[in-house]
Structure 1
Amino acid sequence: MATSRRLLRTTAAAVFAATTLLISSCSSSGPAAPGPAPSPGSAHDAGDQHATADGGSSVLAPLPVAIPAKLRPYYDQKLTWHACSTAGFQCATMKVPLDYDKPNAGTDIKLAVARRKATGPGTRLGSLLVNPGGPGGSAIEYLEQYAPQPAAVRARYDMVGLDPRGVGRSTPVECLTDRQMDRFTQTDQTPDTSAEVDKLTTAYRNFAKGCEARSAKLLPHVSTIEAARDMDVLRALLGDKKLTYVGASYGTFLGATYAGLFPTRSGRLVLDGAMDPALDSRTININQTTGFNTAFTAFAADCIKRKDCPLGTQSTTDAGRRLSAFFKRLDAHPLPTGEERKLTESLATTGVIAAMYDQGSWPTLRAYLATAQRGNGRGLLALSDSYYERDAEGHYANQMYANPAVNCLDLPPAFTTPSQVEAALPTFRKASPVFGNSFAWAALNCAYWPVKPTGTVHRIEAKGAAPIVVVGTTRDPATPYTWAQGLARQLSSATLLTYVGDGHTAYGRGSDCIDTAINTYLLDGTTPPKNKRCT
């Protein structure tokens, strides 16, 4: 089953190829009340992390500029660099407090850092921190794969990746065994009976219990605010007065949070495939359901022009009906795949969703749908495995565990009971006749999380920050374009750069217009013209 609000890698050729955001299961059913409690890691001496703005909306308040004495040991530590397993990269480990409110050397956690030093020519501009999204995407693995590009930026910056707390090599969240995760991903996520609803909620409960059993001490301290504070420690250790950063999808929320907490230490920030922190979780889920419907419609429109389209050649509406009917057949009769696992409805849905992030995957999806219609589910299973980061040996990466751990802490759940989901199904079906049911039920998983959420809906203004570039793609399925517009309106120094097209995120995905605008900003600080649109 596809858990909510999760980010995936898209095209392998992308420079800052994003990790994408799936449906958020961890959002509130309504806007936050004014005057929320501070998020974890806010440090009592810094005051509440949220202030009340005009109109009663919650605004993320900056931390004091002065670094508290109790945090000085973290800012004063020295990084010891050594050669990574990947040639040309250096690795190091840094310590940060588990709890910024109560730093204690005995409970410190270790975070993994990697860098590739500036190659020249040209004057070195400092460090450029990248984050591929998620939450849960490994910035180090991403950096090692993509740092060779873009050459002009690589020449002037040390390219740096920090696996956020709970992620990858940085004290990872752990939840299930690989066999348990296999069973979890095959759970029916479109229950038709009360018995199937019970099986789904049991799966969510067991997932949560597994995370609590293996990561109880860490779970209350993997919030986005804490991850942003970790980035400020790293900024200082790298010797940079201001943070330069490129974040994709969820990485935009992390970067915007940094700007909100540390506006005077924010440098050139690129937020590509932006999230809107002012939205409650149910709105986020419905927006994303609509976004994936838009992406599927674009795929179907392309498909039906081809004689061999596995969804027919009549209309996009008919193509959606055919795909829905295919999913329904799988619900009753899963397909063989050539291995122990069969292609269930939930795995097939995840495979199709995975292909919606990048139009470059459309030919593959057409081929795999055709193969599945001939009775072989191997291709769609492979797409689903790529989404879940399951390797050929059946091992799952940490991302699927870190993802709900962060999401369920950052916002209250969209739904807390199955009856709430059932009441909302018509709205989700209207948003997407194909994906609405599965997306709605996916939004229930945080209801059973063992740690209560500490984050709330809020605005981020980052008053006093240097110019920030927010990037939005008009037909982005995972982070709808309206989110980029919303974040750009909130940030006091933001410029919105628009890519008119399909897919998730825009930088490094083939638009010379987008790449030139962002590279120019990173290299000399010149922001794109107001309302600039690219194709």
Structure 2
Amino acid sequence: MHTRRTLRRTRTGTAATRLAPLLAALLVTACSAQGPSSTAGPAAEEKRTAVPALVALPRSTPSALAPYYGQKLEWRDCGVPGFQCATMKAPLDYAKPSEGDVRLAVARKKATDPGRRLGSLLVNPGGPGGSAVGYLQQYAGIGYPAEVRARYDIVAVDPRGVARSEPVECLDGPKMDAYTQTDVTPDDGREADVLVDAYKRFADGCRADAPKLLRHVSTVEAARDMDILRAVLGDPKLTYVGASYGTFLGATYAGLFPDRTGRLVLDGAMDPSLPARRLNLEQTAGFETAFRSFAEDCVRRADCPLGGRGTTPARAGQTLKAFFDRLDTRPIPAGDTAGRKLTESLATTGVITAMYDEGAWQQLREALGSAMRRNDGAALLALSDSYYERDPSGGYSNLMSANAAVNCLDLPAAFASPREVREGLPAFEKASPVFGESLAWASLNCAYWPVKPTGEPHRIKAQGAPPILVVGTTRDPATPYPWARSLAGQLSSGRLLTYDGDGHTAYGRGSSCVDSTINAYLLRGTAPADGKRCS
């Protein structure tokens, strides 16, 4: 039971630890230029530009917001050595700021060379629903290049509804176990009804938990919160690194506040001009592109369970899909003390998880080998659990709850009914013979959301902003490369940096060309020429 997610993953430690802490997926998307069903082209680009542009907010701050912009943060020890934490207030409803606050968790790692400090660098790992504070403490505050950490206070804020910032909690652990195991490839009307009921129970749980907040967790509101934080930190302009969904958040900030925009890095870019169904369809093609790259590598290795040398990626995909189909009727043991078995939905999620990072391909080969050859689904279940941020005791982070809450508010639903999904299935299955069916049905989740969407597809121009660095990876599964091209083209000052490689996002993933280009931009303001390529 996957939902729309895109999220940044680190490259430190083992494959298992890389996959666990920061893995949100945004089932929005775009076909990779190398994908089997790319729809990019003149007609597609013309269609994208038909949507309205995001309108910038007035330069002057409304007097009703002055108390928020003038607040002082009280920094305290986080309990994690070297990090400080604070709580920031923002209005629950920017249209009615006197009617209540939302409290947001903020953390920072101060510059190691304060005499050469450039200011604050705000980071966000994506999701939506990924904890920026957790990302800061687990990776950015210790893993960003030493010179960047020397010159900047690295700062994070969990967006409203996420992690430590008044989290939306829709289902408890046992109910989340049931939800993630729900069959997302219904064979008949009865199974479709079961899936719809699961979506409705999830939505009802969210409404019961956060009836007011659920109406105010949009990306626009989170971007406005970031401007309050910028002011409170004393920075005249925002310096920011956003990955995956974090690129949508950062681009939205630039669109709303182009005059307050500083050096923005948008890595693994999303395209804000696309409606939800198009996003989901294109991401589905992105996962197919990533799988084919994995399959090409797999079949050259002796331990590949999808075939040997000479096996085509298409044939490897057929073998994997046949395995998923068998699990649909006959789940296999997974060594889980709670009695969970590896179902089709959990196995599919496990494979999708490994598409985010080519460093996990060996782990995936071994997991598939255990499941397909030895009837042991434990390793694939562990990959799936990392995707959902399920801990060994059966508890879940609020990642999936926040993910749905933001996505379903930001855009109208991709599909309104099972009938619409069935009509759309051929396009999804063409985009990905392996994942198309399950990802199409997963796109139905927002149809039963208790709050009407407040957002629509739009272009972001950010007229007047300084150069904004947009980074795209050619075989990125979750934010396919054409999205980066599109966003860079929409932004009036966009500069596209292309990484020819695998995996989700590019900064800190092993390319010295990418890293040095981004570091030069952050440290010296030197933006690369538009269209620079790295490998």
Give the SS at the match of 2:368.
helix
Distance 1:370 1:378 in 2: 11
| Mapped partners of 1:476, 1:143: distance in 2 | 23
Retained in 2: the 8 A contact 1:10–1:20? no
Find the counterpart in structure 2 of residue 225 from structure 1. 220
Partner of 1:209: 204
Aligned equivalents of 1:249, 1:12: Cα separation in 2: 18
Aligned residue identity for 1:97: P
Asked if 1:404 corresponds to 2:404, the answer is yes
1:131 corresponds to: 124
Deviations 1:463-494 (Å, cap 9, x if unpaired)?
01111100000111100100000000000011
Q: Which residue of 2 aligns with 1:325?
A: 322
Whether the 8 Å CA contact 1:20–1:249 is kept in 2: the answer is: no
Check the 8 A contact 2:8/2:505 in 1, yes or no: no
In structure 1, the partner of 2:138 is: 145
Where do 5+ consecutive residues of structure 2 fail to align? Answer: 31-47
1:167 is displaced (CA, Å) by: 0.4
The secondary structure found in structure 2 opposite 1:59 is: coil
Matched, 1:357 2:356: yes
Q: State, as a whole percentage, how many aligned pairs show the same letter.
A: 65
Equivalent residue, structure 1, for 2:27: 24
Amino acid at match of 2:69: Y
Contact 1:429-1:436 at 8 Å conserved across structures? yes
What is the alpha-carbon distance in structure 2 between the residues aligned to residue 513 and residue 338 of structure 1? 43
Residues 27 and 478 in structure 2, CA contact (< 8 A), matched pair in contact too:
no
3-state SS of the aligned residue for 2:346?
helix
* Matched residue, 1:46: none
C-alpha distance in structure 1 between counterparts of 2:492 and 2:475, whole Å: 25
* Aligned-partner Cα distance in 2 for 1:303–1:233: 48
Rate the CA distance shift 1:60–1:221 in 2: closer, same or farther, 3 A. same
State whether structure 2 residue 333 is matched by structure 1 residue 336: yes
Contact 1:23/1:439 (<8 A) preserved:
no
2:481 matched to 1:481?
Answer: yes
Conservation of the 8 A alpha-carbon contact between 2:207 and 2:214: yes
Alignment of 1:287-298 (within 5 A): 287-298=282-293
Give 1:93's aligned residue. Answer: 87
Which whole-Å CA distance do the structure 2 matches of 1:422 and 1:56 have between them?
28
What residue identity is the alignment partner of 1:129?
L
Tell me the number of residue pairs that the alignment of Structure 1 and Structure 2 aligns.
508
Whether 1:70 aligns to 2:64 is: yes
Q: Distance in 2 between matches of 1:79 and 1:219?
A: 26
The one-letter code of the counterpart of 2:51 is S
Query: Shift of residue 281 of structure 1?
Result: 1.1
Letter aligned with residue 58 of structure 1: P
Match of 2:266, SS?
strand
Q: How does 1:41-56 map to 2 (within 5 A)?
A: none
The equivalent of 1:527 in structure 2 is 527
Which residue is 2:440 aligned to? Answer: 440
The amino acid across from 1:400 in the alignment is M
SS of the residue corresponding to residue 130 of structure 1 reads strand
Aligned residue for 1:170, secondary structure, equals coil
Shift of 1:318: 1.2
Q: How far off is 1:120 after superposition? A: 1.3
Moved more, 337-346 or 382-391: 337-346
**SS of aligned partner of 1:100:** coil
Under a length normalisation based on structure 1, what TM-score does the superposition of the two structures give? 0.92
Aligned to 1:273: 268
Answer whether contact 2:462 2:492 (CA < 8 A) is retained: yes
Find out whether 1:257 has 2:260 as its counterpart. Answer: no
Deviation for aligned residue 1:12: 3.5
Q: Which moved more, 1:305-314 or 1:133-142?
A: 305-314
After superposition, the C-alpha distances for 1:69-92 in whole angstroms (9 at most, x for unaligned) are: 000000011100011110101100
* Cα distance, 1:121 vs structure 2: 7.0
Compute the RMSD of aligned alpha carbons. 1.9
Corresponding residue number in structure 1 for 2:43 = none
1: CA distance, partners of 2:26 / 2:232: 35
Alignment partners' CA distance in 1, 2:515 and 2:9: 18
Residue 389 (structure 2) aligns with? 389
Query: Who is 2:42 aligned against?
Result: none
Pick closer, same or farther for the CA change 1:430–1:460 going to 2, 3 Å.
same
How far residue 219 of structure 1 moved from its aligned partner, in angstroms, is 0.3
2:105 match: secondary structure: strand
- Contact 1:26 / 1:445 at 8 angstroms: preserved in 2? no
CA distance in 1, matches of 2:210, 2:158: 17
**CA separation in 2, counterparts of 1:142 and 1:8?**
9
Structure 1, unpaired ranges of 5+: 28-53
TM-score where L is the length of structure 2: 0.92
Q: 1:499 corresponds to which residue?
A: 499
8 Å CA contact 2:471, 2:499 repeated in 1: yes
Q: Is the 8 A contact 2:332 2:375 kept in 1?
A: yes
Shift of the 144–399 alpha-carbon distance from structure 1 to 2, 3 Å rule, reads same
Letter in 1 for 2:365: R
Deviation readout 1:403-425 (Å, 9 max, x if unpaired): 00000000000100100000011
- Indicate if the aligned counterparts of 1:323 and 1:434 stay in contact, CA closer than 8 A: yes
Partners of 1:346 and 1:466 lie apart in 2 by 44
Residue 27 of structure 2 aligns with an amino acid whose one-letter code is: S
Q: Name the CA distance, whole Å, in 2 between partners of 1:449 and 1:81.
A: 37
Offset at residue 107 of structure 1 (A)? 1.8
Residues 286-295 or 312-321, more deviating: 312-321
1:112 matched to 2:105? The reply is: yes
Q: 1:94 to 1:2 in 2, by over 3 A?
A: same
Residues 297/25 of structure 1: CA separation in 2 closer, same or farther (3 Å cut): closer
